[in-house]
């Protein structure tokens, strides 16, 4: 099995390993990561999870498989000691799984707009079906593909986010660089609640987007504390699920606060 693709930004302080969401990639995090490296002096490692970005494709797209991929990457990078894990949505579930199963490798945890509880991925299933159908029909290029997504009533923010996965030369053929079939086959696992025989006692910060609905008050009162003792909670006002894109300064500040306390 090959290693995951990653972007490595140097810094003298404890490494931060950043894990993106479904249909995301390392690239979307680079602007924030450069600030963390430059202003906070942390090494930052941006990862393309399997079946995403420039990483390898594989039929198994479970949370556990992705967590093991991260362990293998840390070993290959010579990072046997604790790192800070920062995950968004699906990436946050991977980070939580890693912290619960391999706590000796984790210094602290930052979870963006995701809880360890069950998730409703009905819309994601619909979106993946649309993307697979468009690919089967032949993708015409960015402008025309966005028009096709608009005709499918995909909201503008999601259209723009999805289009980062469109790849190919200007003359074609265009293709999705994500492994849609593997991701679609795994949504039941991606949506499932995380379980563990005991709670994780490593410092954890859960950052909720105020308008997304992904993390509920119930999650914060019951689901999160059941697995992560003493977790800190921050809510970012006027932010949707892509809170790092909606409110990058607020996310920079939330991460800086966590690092000042726990890194």
| Domain regions of the chain by residue span | 6-118+196-262, 122-185
User: What region does 50 belong to: left with phi over 0, alpha with psi -120 to 50, or beta?
Assistant: beta
d(CA 160, CA 41): 31
Q: Please tell me the predicted confidence (pLDDT) of residue 178.
A: 98
Per residue in 194-241, pLDDT (tens digit) is 999 999 999 999 999 999 999 999 999 999 999 999 899 999 999 999
Amino acid 41: pLDDT: 98
CA distance linking residue 234 with residue 18, whole number of Å: 18
Q: Read off the tokens for 253.
A: 């500040």
Assigned architecture for domain 6-118+196-262? 3-Layer(aba) Sandwich (3.40)
User: Do 102 and 71 form a contact (C-beta atoms < 8 A)?
Assistant: yes
* pLDDT interval class at 169 (50, 70, 90): confident
pLDDT at 173: 87
pLDDT of residue 80: 81
């Amino acid at each position: 099995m090959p290693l995951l693709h990653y972007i490595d930004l140097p810094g003298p302080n404890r490494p931060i390993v950043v894990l993106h969401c479904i249909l995301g990639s390392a690239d979307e995090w680079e602007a924030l990561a450069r600030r963390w490296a430059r202003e906070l002096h942390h090494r930052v490692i941006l990862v393309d999870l399997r079946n995403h970005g420039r990483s390898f494709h594989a039929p198994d797209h479970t949370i556990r498989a992705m967590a093991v991929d991260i362990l293998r990457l840390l070993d290959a990078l010579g990072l046997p000691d604790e790192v800070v894990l920062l995950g968004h949505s699906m990436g946050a579930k991977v980070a939580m799984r890693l912290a619960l199963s391999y706590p000796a490798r984790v210094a602290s945890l930052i979870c963006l707009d995701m809880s360890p509880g069950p998730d409703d991925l009905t819309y994601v299933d619909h979106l993946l079906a649309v993307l697979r159908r468009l690919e089967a029909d032949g993708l015409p290029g960015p402008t025309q593909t966005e028009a096709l997504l608009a005709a499918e009533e995909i909201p503008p923010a999601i259209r723009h986010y999805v289009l980062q996965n469109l790849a190919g030369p200007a003359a074609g053929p265009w293709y999705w660089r994500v492994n849609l079939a593997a991701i679609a086959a795994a949504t039941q696992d991606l949506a499932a609640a995380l379980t563990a025989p005991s709670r994780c006692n490593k410092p954890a910060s859960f950052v909720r987007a105020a308008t997304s609905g992904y993390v509920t008050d119930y999650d914060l009162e019951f689901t999160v504390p059941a697995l992560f003792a003493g977790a800190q909670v921050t809510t970012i006002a006027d932010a949707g699920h892509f809170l790092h894109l909606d409110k990058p300064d607020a996310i920079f500040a939330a991460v800086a606060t966590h690092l000042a306390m726990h890194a």
